Amino acid sequence: MTPDDATIAAWVALATTSRELLERAERALKSEGHPPLAWYDALLAVEKAGPGGIRPVALKDRLLLPQYGTSRLLDRMVRAGLLERRPCPGDARGQVIVPTAAGRAQRAAMWPAYARFLAAEIGERLDPGEAAELARLLDKLRGAAG
Amino acid sequence: MTPDDATIAAWVALATTSRELLERAERALKSEGHPPLAWYDALLAVEKAGPGGIRPVALKDRLLLPQYGTSRLLDRMVRAGLLERRPCPGDARGQVIVPTAAGRAQRAAMWPAYARFLAAEIGERLDPGEAAELARLLDKLRGAAG
DNA sequence: CCGATATAGATGCACATGCATCAACTTGCG
DNA sequence: CGCAAGTTGATGCATGTGCATCTATATCGG
């Protein structure tokens, strides 16, 4: 029942490393006057969805956010002029999210800082083989459902 | 300047896996009526500090929390009767944190649920060699400073 | 010993999050 | 069709977090 040492070490390393790196990523963006990481992810997901836009329901799954979290993130980003809510053709309950020109520009503006962060914090510390192995182990850990 | 694919894959896997697992850990504890994970970590750190207790300044480094976050976490845990603030001998600005009997009991009560979570989510999915390798790669990633 | 500077910890304010619930609409079943 | 059940998205309320700043004490340089 008690987890073995390697399990505990992996857990501790996962918790601490992810905390630290996410923290550094947020700071890297904020220090250049950019919005939080979550906005980048949202903009990217919306852009990748193509011209039809994306439903908030779908977005929440991609972003691993709770429903109300998604609703409010969209509120803020719409208020900031980066996204637009449109009525959803074929489902009057729903809506469809599309990026504005400012939204696309914002994401593009964030990328260099983000890329620099990734190169410095990961690219510099792990060679590609190690990075791939790390991704493999993490994906294995993520498993299917909870 | 643009990070290679393996770097990006590692980053995405790190962000998503840590989010999901931390989320599941919180749910596992909450579903049995326990306080959040951070309380476990704090109780453990305070207990491990020994009879002299621990300074909030030291605690904040161990828990990777900002100073004000530590201050407020301690507020809540003191209010809940799990920790006690004592004047710090030799530094009248400071204080020393010690666990109450209820605090020790709370941590002990949380451990089975936590251990079950770790065994199920990590022990079952990675063999000890993989877990150790994961810990090694993550520690490498954590690096020294930002 | 005194004043400048640094460190420990708390806190007011704005904003973000979790939880529960709601209103609107859609779907499936008799 | 018509009603029960499910899905989409929003929101009131309590709580948590980030930021800046404040107070009190400690330390260091002269």
What is the pLDDT, as a whole number, of residue A146? 37
DSSP string, A96-108: EEEE-HHHHHHHH
* Helix ranges, chain B (H): 5-31, 37-48, 56-63, 67-79, 101-118, 128-142
**Distance between CA atoms of residues B23 and B40, nearest Å:** 15
Domain over A5-140 is classified CATH 2.40.170.20:
no
Nucleotides, chain C, CB distance < 7 Å: 7-12, 16-21, 24-27
Domain ranges of chain A: 5-140
Instruction: Name the residue among A12, A129, A146 with its Cα closest to residue B131.
Output: A12
Q: What is the pLDDT of residues B10-61, one digit of tens each?
A: 999 999 999 999 999 999 999 999 999 999 999 999 999 999 999 999 999 9
> Nearest-CA distance from A92 to chain B in Å?
32
Distance A145 CA to D21 C1' (A): 45
A54 DSSP 8-state letter: B
CATH number assigned to the domain covering B22-141: 1.10.10.10
Write out residues whose CB is closer than 7 A to strand D: A 30, 55-57, 67-68, 71-72, 74-75, 85, 88, 91, 93-95; B 38, 66-69, 72-73, 76, 90-93
Q: What is the pLDDT of residues B91-139, one digit of tens each?
A: 999 999 999 999 999 999 999 999 999 999 999 999 999 999 999 999 9
